[in-house]
Amino acid sequence: MARKKISIIGAGNVGATCAHWAAVKGLGDIVLLDIIEGLPQGKALDLFQAGPIEGFDADIVGTNDYRDTAGSDVVIITSGLARKPGMSRDDLLAANARIVKEVSANLAAGSPNAVLIVVSNPLDAMVYVAWKASGFPARRVLGQAGVLDAARYRAFLARQIGCSVCDIQAMLLGGHGDDMVPLPRYTTVSGIPVSQFVPADELAAIVERTRKGGSEIINLLKTGSAYYAPAAASVQMAEAILLDRKRILPCAVYCDKQYGVGGYFVGVPCLVGAGGAEKIIELELSAEESAAFAVSVSHVKELVAAVEKLI
């Protein structure tokens, strides 16, 4: 049986690390594409040569030509400018909208049956751009945000509690950014409510740190942004699609009647399998949670309104 094909657009830190995680997991053959000549070729060759050491047989190639991505099963789009200290995700809107529009159109032409996973920021608006430019059904265009945000939340909780990160289950809603909505009420430690382990004030501090998780890393690095965890989150989504795992993951997906969103890509729990976002899971929300989610969705709507003028 032929191996699955994964194309990763953008050979910067996030893209190259996506290739690394995907190769180690043995998910399929990998194409790493970038506009800079030599960059994807060099990184792909280096990673390919790690195969005999780590025991993966993936064919890994780097390219500057979209024709090499043809027939992809999953495409991870990391292209775009990265945030720098003091820069908001909104500042990236115009430049990255142009990039994601061009990338998505090129990919759709050669891989009409692929599922797109968008990582470029501002995330919720860029998923919308990819959907419009590709012409794909909405279920085959997903944004990677909630998996990363939930991972940060779970990591902070595990350290606070002193337990394995594997025992923390958590869910988030809303846009990717400072107005995301972590849900402590849906957070458990091996099925036990997190409130039995972490006092309310400490939990609130962890929630706030989660919201600022990306900015915290940017401020520490000073010359770049996070890439290990964003790449791992993207590949977890790719794995769910390629292996039809039917994972329930928080992703930016198209919601119409669900949650009363009205036709926007926002972060909600969904069942992820071979068809992409196969089902949206609607949680029962408290009045406070609903209000916070509404604020987050309103910001997504503002971004989409702005990006529609650009595309």
pLDDT at 43: 98
Look-up: residue for tokens 């194309």? 7
**pLDDT tens digits, residue range 122-171?**
899 999 999 999 999 999 999 998 999 999 999 999 999 999 999 999 99
**pLDDT-derived band at 83, boundaries 50, 70, 90:** low
Q: Could you tell me if 274 and 244 are in contact, meaning their C-beta atoms sit under 8 angstroms apart?
A: yes
**pLDDT tens digits, residue range 13-32?**
999 999 999 999 999 999 99
Q: Is the N-terminal amide bond of 193 cis, ω within 30° of 0?
A: no
Statement: residue 80 has pLDDT above 70: yes
**pLDDT tens digits, residue range 236-253?**
999 999 999 999 999 999
Strand partners, 33: 9, 63
Tokens of 76: 């991870």
**pLDDT-derived band at 108, boundaries 50, 70, 90:** very high
Averaged pLDDT for residues 298-303: 92
CATH code given to domain 146-308: 3.90.110.10
Averaged pLDDT for residues 1-12: 94
pLDDT at 308: 87
CB atoms within 10 A of CB 291: 12
Statement: residue 179 has pLDDT above 90: no
How far apart are alpha carbons 60 and 48 in whole angstroms?
6
Averaged pLDDT for residues 55-79: 97
* DSSP E strands, the chain: 5-9, 29-33, 60-63, 74-77, 115-118, 141-143, 168-169, 172-173, 181-182, 188-189, 192-193, 247-255, 264-273, 276-280
Tokens of 80: 């775009």
Q: What fold, for 5-143?
A: Rossmann fold (3.40.50)
Statement: residue 311 has pLDDT above 80: no
pLDDT at 176: 78
**pLDDT tens digits, residue range 200-241?**
999 999 999 999 999 999 999 998 889 999 999 999 999 999
> Which CA distances in Å does 122 have to 90, 168, 310?
6, 28, 14
pLDDT at 86: 66
pLDDT at 85: 62
**pLDDT-derived band at 88, boundaries 50, 70, 90:** low
Statement: residue 82 has pLDDT above 80: no
How far apart are alpha carbons 162 and 188 in whole angstroms?
14
Catalytic residues: 176
Quote the percentage of the chain above a pLDDT of 90: 87
- The residue type found at 2 is A
Q: What is the mean pLDDT of the chain?
A: 94
**pLDDT tens digits, residue range 270-297?**
999 999 999 999 999 999 999 999 999 9
pLDDT at 283: 97
Strand partners, 62: 32
Domain locations in the chain as residue ranges: 5-143, 146-308
